[in-house]
């Protein structure tokens, strides 16, 4: 007997009022305008997932001085690379690709194997450090502030997020412009604004990272259940945002 395919997560149907959507847009614009009024060199780390696309849409509207970059880890989905091209064309904004050094990746593979991150938390942290954390430091060198698309409702590790924080590791200001948006706010806003959406969101991926470390999730699962699914639930961070 053939088992039925699991029902995967889908982009949710939303029922957000026009007044709420207009308020979200005005709020995002105000927050981005405040950031660029205070800091000259601001950079935005985009994964090209829905949260970051909402922020990108605001940047294209009111804060084009903000520099966009993505961490090109060498293990991204082909769909993510294609999305970067699509976003640049749609918004006429340049997205810089920041990659790990070939030497450190070679050493990582020699130490743990190509897919050694499956063996445990230590190995996963080592991979994320080489492919994401170190390139992030490079991408933010000389910046006065940086932006993320993090939201409180994404994970238990993000429930204490604020609009403005201080990044101790890099000694610069850090902003989360949509930190207080709900899932419904996010998806209603992207639909209302006709924002380009990553194709993997249409294939059961509510959260998108590197290809070997991200899978589609079943309907009703936590939205970050597909990230590093072989590890404990409280291990759903790569080190970019650990305080």
- What digits encode the pLDDT tens for the residues 216-233? 999 999 888 999 988 876
Q: What is the pLDDT of residue 67?
A: 98
2-6, 206-210, 222-226: least confident range: 2-6
Let me know the angle formed at the C-alpha of 16 by 15 and 17, rounded to the nearest 5 degrees. Answer: 120
CA atoms of 49 and 197, how far apart (whole Å): 7
pLDDT in tens, 169-186: 899 999 999 999 999 999
**Is it the case that residue 236 has pLDDT exceeding 90?**
no
Give pLDDT, residue 175. Answer: 98
Strand partners, 175: 147, 164
Please, what is the Cα angle at 81 between 100 and 127, to 5 degrees? 30
- Which of these, 5, 46, 60, 11, lies nearest to 200 by C-alpha position? 11
Under 8 Å CB-to-CB from 102, ≥6 apart: which residues? none
pLDDT in tens, 127-173: 999 999 999 999 999 999 999 999 998 777 778 899 999 999 899 99
Percentage of residues of the chain with pLDDT beyond 70: 93
What tokens were used for 115?
A: 């897919």
Q: What is the pLDDT of residues 67-76, one digit of tens each?
A: 999 999 999 9
How is the chain split into domains, by residue range?
18-204
Across the chain, what does the average pLDDT equal? Answer: 93
**CATH 3.40.50.620 matches 18-204:** yes
Beta bridge partners of 8: 218
Taking 60 as the threshold, does the pLDDT of residue 88 lie above it? Answer: yes
| Strands of the chain, DSSP E | 42-45, 67-71, 95-98, 145-147, 164-167, 172-175
* pTM of structure: 0.92
pLDDT of residue 5: 80
Q: What pLDDT was estimated at residue 241?
A: 53
Residue 58: predicted pLDDT = 98
What confidence score (pLDDT) does residue 235 get?
Answer: 54
Residue-wise pLDDT tens digits, 149-162: 999 987 777 788 99
What are the residue numbers of the active site? Answer: 238
pLDDT of residue 160: 83
Cβ neighbours of 135 (radius 10 Å): 25
Question: What single-letter DSSP state applies at residue 132?
Answer: I
* Pairing between β-strand 145-147 and β-strand 95-98 as defined by DSSP bridges: unpaired
Angle, CA 17 vertex, CA 11 and CA 18 arms, to 5°: 105
- Mean pLDDT value across residues 29-41: 98
- Percent of the chain past pLDDT 90, that is, above it, reads 86
């Amino acid at each position: 007997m053939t088992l039925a395919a699991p029902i995967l997560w889908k982009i949710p149907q939303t029922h957000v009022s026009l007044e709420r959507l207009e308020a979200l847009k005005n709020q995002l614009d105000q927050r981005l305008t405040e950031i660029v009024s205070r800091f000259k060199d601001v950079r935005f780390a985009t994964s090209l997932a829905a949260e970051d696309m909402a922020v990108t849409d605001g940047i294209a509207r009111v804060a084009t001085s903000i520099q966009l970059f993505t961490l090109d880890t060498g293990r991204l989905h082909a769909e993510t690379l294609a999305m970067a091209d699509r976003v640049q064309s749609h918004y006429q904004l340049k997205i810089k690709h920041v990659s790990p050094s070939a030497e450190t990746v070679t050493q990582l593979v020699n130490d743990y194997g190509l897919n050694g991150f499956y063996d445990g938390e230590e190995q996963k942290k080592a991979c994320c450090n080489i492919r994401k954390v170190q390139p992030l430091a490079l991408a933010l060198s000389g910046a006065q502030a940086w932006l993320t698309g993090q939201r409180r409702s994404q994970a238990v590790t993000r429930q204490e997020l604020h609009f403005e924080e201080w990044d101790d590791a890099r000694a610069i200001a850090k902003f989360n412009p949509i930190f207080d948006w709900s899932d419904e706010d996010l998806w209603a806003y992207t639909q209302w604004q006709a924002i380009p959406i990553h194709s993997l969101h249409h294939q059961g991926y509510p959260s998108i990272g590197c290809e070997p470390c991200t899978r589609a999730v079943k309907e009703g699962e936590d939205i970050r259940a597909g990230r590093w699914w072989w590890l404990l639930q409280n291990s759903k961070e790569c080190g970019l945002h650990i305080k």
